[in-house]
Structure 1
Amino acid sequence: MMQQALLWLACGAGMLAAGWGAAALAHQCPGPRALRRWAAALWLAAALTLVLLAGSTGRLYWLSAYAVALAALFGWWSELAPSNRRDWAEEVARMVTGRVHDGQVTLHNVRNFQWRARHDYQARWETRQYDLHALRTVDLLASHWMGPAIAHTLVSFGFADGRHLVFSVEIRRERHEAFSPVGGFFKQYEACIVAADERDIVRVRTNIRREDVYLYRVHMPADTMRSLFLAYVEQANRLAHTPRFYHTLTANCTTIVYHMARRLVRGLPLNWRLVLSGYLPGYLHRLGALEPGWELHALRAAGYLNPRAQAADQAEDFPARIRAGVPGHEPAAAR
């Protein structure tokens, strides 16, 4: 009886592995999409046949044959390696890198696109310099693109001269690829860090893609702000030198930020809102990192950017105009 139960337990695990293998082949098998689908379908049919034969006959050699096939599939999967040399989509074609000397940061490949439509833009990549001693603010931006639970996380650093630089951990898709949340589980994309002007990376979301974007002022000591900025630069340099795959759960726009922040703030707790990133502001509010004296729903309402961003459009003072009325960004006299 126990042996039969163990057999069916092994068969159940085998069915789960069969589904994973089919998805892996559908996303990563070499060749055109039709070939990938056929490979996935054949694998699934063969794997389920072997598992069902083992379960119905009690013959372990069917499971042994399946185990050999599964080991071969895992061997192929482990050989898939990330790369920085592909035909990338234009908006992620370059990787930001930086040099730091005496508090002065020089960033290469800062993105400053002028977006006219989703696929109509003027590409501009710039070299910029920032004085870390002039760093004044850190803002969290949550761009909701698939309901309230899922948002893309961006971090904006504000300087005394009024400039704002945004860092964003993004998928690095190839020119022919479209974004797929499922593909992020199966090594379909590399990870990259984009550093961009707010009139590029915020405006494309509010004005072009029409995502719902919210801005929250994050309070942290000046040395922690500088450390977080440098952590982005360090991670960007590392990715430019050693590529890694993006993963929807373990290496996404929120979890990578968390791992960087964890080095700066000891004991930073893990939380389910790091996965359901649309609720990340609630996590920060609970930690006391957002503007004090405000309920979360009030911060969310005041931080909704779309109307202000669409009114500002391509104005030079875009960063100041989108922050009008955001708690923590009112003029000092008003505070």
Structure 2
Amino acid sequence: MQQLIVQKASDIMSLIDKVSVSTQELPLRVPFRTSRHVVTRASSVRVTITLENGLVGVGSGTPNEVVTGDTMASLEAILQELTPTLIGADLNDWTALLARVQGLITGNGPAKAAIELALYDLRAQSFGVDLPTLLGARQARVESDMTISIHPLPEMIAEAKQIAAQGFRAVKIKVGGGYLDDDLQRIQMIADALGPGHQLRLDANQAWTVAEAAEALRALAATHLPIEFVEQPVAANDVAGMRALTAMHLLPIMADESVFSYADALNILAQHAADYVNIKLMKTGGLSEATKINAACAARHVPCMVGAMIEPSTSLRAAVAFAAAHPNVHFVDLDPIFMVADAQPGLATDGPVLMFD
């Protein structure tokens, strides 16, 4: 079968003929608030790559000024400058092409992701399969959690009840940026509003010092609530702090902003600085680096989550495919599809389940 696939790909004209860049802004139903920023739109820069044989691949990158350091303006400018250098490249020279994309610029994960996802789209088409099949998934469906961002408490409670009614079994709660007692009250009241049978996931977005996080972990553990993990409790570069909190063994610790690259993942794993790792394609620069990170985690028996920025379906489809293809992905946090006001092409939903349309 592999020989047939390779032959099919090599029989076609696979040179990149054209590349175009455009922007997309999709309003959210309600603003999304964390301890660090407020998001009102799913903003992205789309990359469209056309091969000489007429196949068209589309990818997109979403900036996040407080996480990846990008803005829409900077992301678009970088892609307008870099993408023309890919014209004439051969899709069949796959490994070298991916290395070339990752070497185009330092950092700038969303720009690399936009290009890579367009290339993966083309590669799947050239093999006559969808992206989940290309990545090795048996089925293109995953179950996501839903996030409750920081709002006045009555709004958060009302949202929790709505989420429970929609069938979500896991709920992520944004915490931090205020008093711990307020966080504890919100978590308890949200848990009560959800009712039994729901798992809680907490995300501090680097809001606490190590001392504050340790106090929070002790207080949270004492509640005996069904908390699956506490995500990125301290600053991304405080690996020693992450290690100390993980060593407390009170609640599982997940690294998010601490892991952008394969090298970051190896550092976290070597220092036992997290129980879980959150992989986001906008951080990793696409699927190739995400695959390496997941493999490193799997080899050390550290489960992963696949998350996202506030993204459109173009890039969320790739995240769904990646999550579906890797058994080491135990958690899925791809709820932006439920936040965008308008229907998104390419992904269908059934309660908390996302699937290729």
Task: State the TM-score bracket (shorter-chain normalisation).
Answer: under 0.3
Greater relative contact order (Cα < 8 A, sep 6+): 2
Instruction: Give the TM-score taking structure 2 as reference length.
Output: 0.25
Q: Larger Rg: 1 or 2?
A: 1
